[in-house]
Structure 1
């Protein structure tokens, strides 16, 4: 009788635990700032699927495209206020809320100290960047927990109707740029910079509102269809040598999560940092081959006088913002301190890699 009673009690406890676990499972509604077809969303879903698997289903996610609940510009506000559970964007989208967001999302010209996308990860994970990133949301007065997910870079200079051989040629064009300091820096060197969202670029090119543009890299650019309008493509640019997309959760909701759920988010985010970079290298390579081989796109080297002009203006912009904002100055100083140690080694090592790669690229011509 005791054995039967114990079996019944055990079964009841198991049932209660199962029901309780099912009831505690939650589906987080997450709005992105881009369309559902974008590569960034594909990588985002890889991240959220990993979290779901690691938590054995206690955290699930519904990924919604831009505008599903609020406008793109209201995404961070909506996460902060709990109107949506989580969001996905690029950190520099919020530079209007705090200029230091740019130093995490797109540190202009490699933060002016030679930090590329891989070196940025070193700073973020081991040079104090993550701790400053967590502080950013407090500085902005936001109830948000953020996770860096997708480092990209370097971004292409962009697309043009005709070849540009100098800055004088460049200045003839109305040029779509990112918002914030990277775009303002173009204005500072005499380029007619026009900031607009990704979905507006191709219609603006077709309508003649702008006549040159940058977005990202070969794969995303091809997805947007720039090759339908423009044929002259320049890979080397300084405005976004590093670009980072990140994921935001309402802070109060994150605090209520279990230790395992929090660890799952951390582990999946760290995995995404590596996987997204690996994914980009191959996908961009395939896209560049298709653009030049099938769509008549002509690849050019960026004019030499672009680099000193843009770098000088970028450093001036960084110094100006550091003088105005103490937290901006703190983050930038951290990046400069890191760069003084890491960049001489990393840039020197990369010279070998670049020459090795270019030697192979020459054989393909």
Structure 2
């Protein structure tokens, strides 16, 4: 009898411990730099809901939009230091730490479509190469998402390379500033959230912000009446990166849920950007906005300047050189480079 009682108590203890493990809730604090109602913001909210649903509520995301906890550029360090758990901004903001972060975010003039770039990340060795870099900072790269080519915006015409002369515009930190400066522009590095105010006050003539649809949603075309479309200069991918200690503390199930939700986010962002860019394009004429599709010659001039910058930036650190070579190898593999 005592033997049976002991056995039953042991089984009860296992059942209780299992229920506790399943029922326990984990919450991740994540910051992104986009508005909740923006095209990307809507897709990110779906990511939050997907994680909760797939985990049956055991994994929750507390998402902070519009860099509401710390400035965008400080998100990565806020995660490292325990203020946040994960960063859903952009690796390009960390180029001051290592030039290699540039080639996590945007090769500039490299890939033509988002699916090509994501193919490098998930099937071309990109994720592994990125994690060699992130690991040095106590961070784990989980995945990335990108909508498509971005559009330059301006308060004056941007018909081609010649119009870049003395063009004072907001640029993200990194290689982009060097490329545009080599073509005569005057890039000004500032936070994404400062763009509208800087345009309204005339501090800048234009801005590299995001895709056509996102630019429209955040009010850029209320101020800047000239834009490039289709885009050609930048296709910057945002990342999901978590503090490694936090990531390693998650169950395999929760890790897989986040990875799958991130891939779903990437697909959602691509599809919605395609549709919303088309819808945005139709609205521009009634707003008095002129769109410029650069010629093949002007695009080639930019691409040549960009590829020259790859080599210069690749020489800045061993990690940068490795990522540049990874991109070059993959671009050759899919036929985009000779």
Shared topology, TM-score over 0.5? yes
- 2:312 counterpart of 1:320: yes
Distance change >3 Å, CA 283–CA 208, structure 1 → 2: same
- 2:164 counterpart of 1:163: no
Report the equivalent of 1:91. Answer: 91
Structure 2 Cα separation of the partners of residues 253 and 273 of structure 1: 22
Secondary structure of the residue that 1:252 maps to in structure 2? helix
Distance change >3 Å, CA 206–CA 127, structure 1 → 2: same
Of 124, 134, 146, the residue aligned with 1:137 is 134
Report the equivalent of 1:37. Answer: 37
Structure 2 Cα separation of the partners of residues 100 and 264 of structure 1: 28
Instruction: Give 1:282 deviation, angstroms.
Output: 0.9
Report the equivalent of 1:357. Answer: none
- 2:261 counterpart of 1:268: yes
Query: Does the CA contact (< 8 Å) of 1:159 and 1:234 recur in 2?
Result: yes
Instruction: Give 1:145 deviation, angstroms.
Output: 1.7
Secondary structure of the residue that 1:249 maps to in structure 2? strand
Query: Does the CA contact (< 8 Å) of 1:166 and 1:305 recur in 2?
Result: no
Structure 1 Cα separation of the partners of residues 121 and 132 of structure 2: 13
Secondary structure of the residue that 2:131 maps to in structure 1? helix
Of 246, 255, 261, the residue aligned with 2:248 is 255
- How big is each residue's C-alpha offset from its partner over 1:20-53, in whole Å with a ceiling of 9 and x where there is no partner? 533x311112122333333323222222322222
Query: Does the CA contact (< 8 Å) of 1:148 and 1:244 recur in 2?
Result: no
TM-score, L = length of structure 1: 0.83
Instruction: Give 1:79 deviation, angstroms.
Output: 0.9
Structure 1 Cα separation of the partners of residues 207 and 166 of structure 2: 13
Report the equivalent of 1:296. Answer: 288
Structure 1 Cα separation of the partners of residues 160 and 259 of structure 2: 45
- 2:334 counterpart of 1:333: no
Secondary structure of the residue that 1:100 maps to in structure 2? helix
Distance change >3 Å, CA 229–CA 70, structure 1 → 2: closer
Q: Which moved more, 1:336-345 or 1:80-89?
A: 336-345
Instruction: Give 1:168 deviation, angstroms.
Output: 3.1
Distance change >3 Å, CA 67–CA 270, structure 1 → 2: closer
Secondary structure of the residue that 1:253 maps to in structure 2? helix
Query: Does the CA contact (< 8 Å) of 1:167 and 1:305 recur in 2?
Result: no
Report the equivalent of 1:126. Answer: 123
Instruction: Map 1:135-214 onto structure 2 (within 5 A).
Output: 135-138=132-135, 141-156=136-151, 158-214=152-208
Secondary structure of the residue that 2:288 maps to in structure 1? coil
Structure 1 Cα separation of the partners of residues 321 and 314 of structure 2: 4
Secondary structure of the residue that 1:239 maps to in structure 2? coil
Structure 2 Cα separation of the partners of residues 19 and 314 of structure 1: 54
Of 224, 233, 237, the residue aligned with 1:230 is 224
Instruction: Map 1:58-97 onto structure 2 (within 5 A).
Output: 58-97=58-97
- How big is each residue's C-alpha offset from its partner over 1:105-124, in whole Å with a ceiling of 9 and x where there is no partner? 111111xxx55322112222
Instruction: Give 1:344 deviation, angstroms.
Output: 5.0
Report the equivalent of 1:104. Answer: 104
Report the equivalent of 1:56. Answer: 56
Query: Does the CA contact (< 8 Å) of 1:109 and 1:239 recur in 2?
Result: yes
Gaps in structure 1 of 5+ consecutive residues: 348-365
- How big is each residue's C-alpha offset from its partner over 1:199-218, in whole Å with a ceiling of 9 and x where there is no partner? 21111111111122231122
Distance change >3 Å, CA 249–CA 344, structure 1 → 2: closer
- How big is each residue's C-alpha offset from its partner over 1:265-290, in whole Å with a ceiling of 9 and x where there is no partner? 22222222222211211121112212
Secondary structure of the residue that 1:152 maps to in structure 2? coil
Distance change >3 Å, CA 77–CA 320, structure 1 → 2: same
Of 247, 271, 282, the residue aligned with 1:278 is 271
